[in-house]
Structure 1
């Protein structure tokens, strides 16, 4: 059993990660910045109010954790890069027992066949660009950090949503995972499986990966 702190636990992806971790018998501390959202969390989760960009909150909650999941989203401020900065500042102070970071990234940070970031392409959705650029900044923070264990897991750049829990997925590195029909996508449920699998069996230390069906 792992002790997992999940920031953004009531969000679309965060809730599935929370449910998957509880399903497998892990001890979950589910964190939301809004007290009203804390009330929507599963009873089996230890729901608490907290901000992932607060050093005091991270220090307190991460002290005895095995992993810290960052699954925040749906905000106007640049929360992803600030969350990364907070974590890489605070966690080394805990010492050798500091938890690993599992950061839910953005498909916009992935690359096309020419090595260009998808977020920089002219056809990338304008409404998603600000968030994707913030996620790219967070990735830079992790890549420049020392004395922390992290992995950033990016969903596909499109076709991500509620769906069937198939229990299977494939992994990639810099480019989106493409199926036999040339399509990309994954359900929230299977993405959550990939996240919890990485917590249970870390295989991708200090790098960004992506997953897809």
Structure 2
């Protein structure tokens, strides 16, 4: 059993990660900006006010955690890299820092030609700032997070929606996992399964992974 803190626990992804971890018997702390708005989280989950970009929040929650999960969204481009920077800087000062599992964007995955999906000419401009912000966070972990254990998780670049929990998936690293027809898809529920599996049995320490059917 692990002590799991989930930042962004009230969101579409975060709430499913919380539910999956709680379902398996982990001790889960849901860190959200407005605790009064997340009454739908499972019974037994501790709900606290918390913000991944706040040094005080991370410093308060990290000592009791084995893993800090980042599943935040809804901000400008700097949100994700600000969170990554704050987590790494704060955890470096602790004697036994928890792992970071940072859920980022699928558009940072590589196309078959080697570029990123977010750099494709037809990438929707309304999503570009958030995609670049998620890419900034991944670059930060890769270049600067020495001394801290981290994993960056990318969903498929397009087909990622709430759906059924099947408990099955396949993993990859920097390119989308595709089926026989070239499709890459997974539900939020099954990506949460993949993330909690990584919490329980780490396979992608200090690197990125992706998951799909």
When normalised by structure 2's length, the TM-score is: 0.96
Name the structure 2 match of 1:81: 81
Name the structure 1 match of 2:183: 183
- Aligned-CA RMSD value: 1.2
Note the alpha carbon deviations across 1:25-71, whole angstroms, 9 max, x for none.
00001011234434443332100111110101101101121000000
Counterpart check, 1:31 vs 2:34: no
Note the alpha carbon deviations across 1:159-185, whole angstroms, 9 max, x for none.
111111111001111111111121111
Task: Tell me which moved more, 67-76 or 19-28.
Answer: 67-76
Contact residue 38 and residue 49 of structure 1 kept, 8 A: no
Which runs of 5 or more structure 1 residues have no equivalent in the other structure?
A: none
* Structure-2 separation of matches of 1:38 and 1:169: 28
The 5-angstrom pairing of residues 6-85 of structure 1 reads 6-76=6-76, 78-85=78-85
Contact residue 6 and residue 70 of structure 1 kept, 8 A: yes
Number of residue-to-residue matches in the alignment: 212
Secondary structure in structure 2 of the residue aligned to 1:160: strand
* Structure-2 separation of matches of 1:48 and 1:39: 12
* Structure-2 separation of matches of 1:202 and 1:6: 17
Note the alpha carbon deviations across 1:127-162, whole angstroms, 9 max, x for none.
221111001100111112210000001000111111
* Structure-2 separation of matches of 1:37 and 1:102: 24
* Structure-1 separation of matches of 2:77 and 2:117: 21
* Structure-2 separation of matches of 1:77 and 1:27: 32
Which runs of 5 or more structure 2 residues have no equivalent in the other structure?
A: none
When normalised by structure 1's length, the TM-score is: 0.96
The 5-angstrom pairing of residues 196-211 of structure 1 reads 196-211=196-211
